[in-house]
Amino acid sequence: MKKITFVGAGSLVFTRNLVKDLMGIEAFRDAELCLMDIDEKRLEYSGRFVEKIINAFHNPAVITMTTNRREALRGADGIICTVYNGGNDVLKTEVDIPYKYGVSMNVGDTRSVAGIFRALRNIPLMLDICRDIEEICPDAVLLNYTNPMGMLCSAMQKYTSVNITGLCHSVVNTADMLARWIEAPIEEIDYTCAGVNHQAFYLEFKWNGKDAYPLLRDKMREPQILNEEQVRNEIFQQFGYYVTESSGHSSEYCAWFRKRRDLIEKYCTHGTGWNPGEHAFAVNNRIKREKTLYEDIDKWLQEEEIDLESSGEYAAHIFNAIFGDRKPFVFNGNVINEGCITNLPKEACVEIPMLATRDGLKKIFVGKLPDNIAILVNTTAQIENLVVEACMEKDKEKVINAVQMDPLCSAVCSLQEIRDMCEELFVINRKYLGEYK
Which amino acids are annotated catalytic?
A: 169
What single letter denotes the amino acid at residue 388?
A: V
Is 409 a known ligand-binding residue? no
Respond yes or no on whether the N-terminal peptide bond of residue 328 is cis (omega within 30° of 0). Answer: no
Nearest residue to 164 via CA among 155, 174, 156: 156
> Is 249 labeled as ligand-binding?
no
> Hey, what's the torsion of the CAs at 182, 186, 192, 193, to 10 degrees?
80
Centre a 10 Å sphere on the Cβ of residue 228 and count the other Cβ atoms it contains.
18
Q: In whole angstroms, what is the distance from residue 243 CA to residue 178 CA?
A: 11
The amino acid occupying position 308 is L
Q: How many CA atoms lie within 13 A of 399 on its CB side?
A: 28
Measure Cα distances from 24 to 1, 20, 331 in Å. Answer: 16, 6, 19
CA neighbor of 409 nearest in space, from 258, 279, 248: 258
- Alpha-carbon distances, residue 16 vs 71, 255, 258, 415 (angstroms): 22, 36, 34, 44
The kind and range of the H/E element at 200 are: strand 199-207
Distance CA(56)–CA(305), nearest Å, equals 9
The secondary structure element, H or E, covering residue 203 is: strand 199-207
Q: Is 147 annotated as a binding residue?
A: yes
**Which of helix, strand or coil describes residue 183?**
coil
Please state the residue numbers annotated as binding site. 147, 168, 198
Please state the residue numbers annotated as binding site for Mn(2+). 168, 198
Please state the residue numbers annotated as binding site for substrate. 147
